[in-house]
Structure 1
Amino acid sequence: MLGGAGLLLATSPAQAADTSYKTECIPPAVSGLPPVEGTTVVQLTAPAEAKVGDTVEVVWKTVEAASKNPDMLDLDKDTVKPTGTIKVGGAATGTLQMEGPRQNPPIPKNSAMVLPDMKGTLKLEKAGEITLTPDAYNINVSKPISTDTKCSPKETVKTGATIKVTDGGGATTGGGTTSGSTAGGTTSGSTTSGSTTAGGTTSGSGGGRTDFPGKEVAVHFTCTSPGPADISSKVTINAKKSGGSYALTVKTAKGVMDSPAALPAGALKPSMDVVIAGADKGSVKVTGPANAEPLEQGKPVDLSDMTGTYKPGASGKSTLSPGTLTIDVTLGASKINIPCKVKGSVTPSLELDTTAQQGGASGSTTSGSTGTAGSSAGGTDSGGGLAATGAEGTGTLHALGLVAGTAILLGGAVFTFTPWRRLRGTR
Structure 2
Amino acid sequence: MSAAVFALLLGGAGLATAASPAQAADATYKVRCVPPAGGGDPVEGETTAKVTAPATAKVGDEVDVSWETVKPASNNTDLMDIPKDAVQPTGWITVGGGGGELKVVGEKKNPPIPKKAPMQMSTMKGKLKLTKAGKITLTPGKYEVAVTFSFGTFVTKCAPTGEVKGGATIDVSAGSSGGTTNGGTTSGGTTSGGTTTGGTTSGGTTSGGTTSGGTTSGGTTGGGGGQSDFPGKAVEVAFDCGPVVPGGIKTPVTINARKNGGSYDLTVKTAKGAMAAPMALPAGALKPSMAIKLGGADSGTVKVAGPANAEPIPDKAPVSLSDMTGTYKPGKTGKVTLSPDQLTIDVTMAPGATPINVPCKATSSGVSLELDTAAQPGGSGSPSTTGATTAGPGGGLAETGAEDGGGLKALALVAGTVILLGAAVFTFTPWRRLRGTR
TM-score by length of 1: 0.45
Q: Please tell me whether Structure 1 or Structure 2 has the larger radius of gyration of its CA atoms.
A: 2
The structure with the greater share of residues assigned to helix is 2
TM-score by length of 2: 0.43
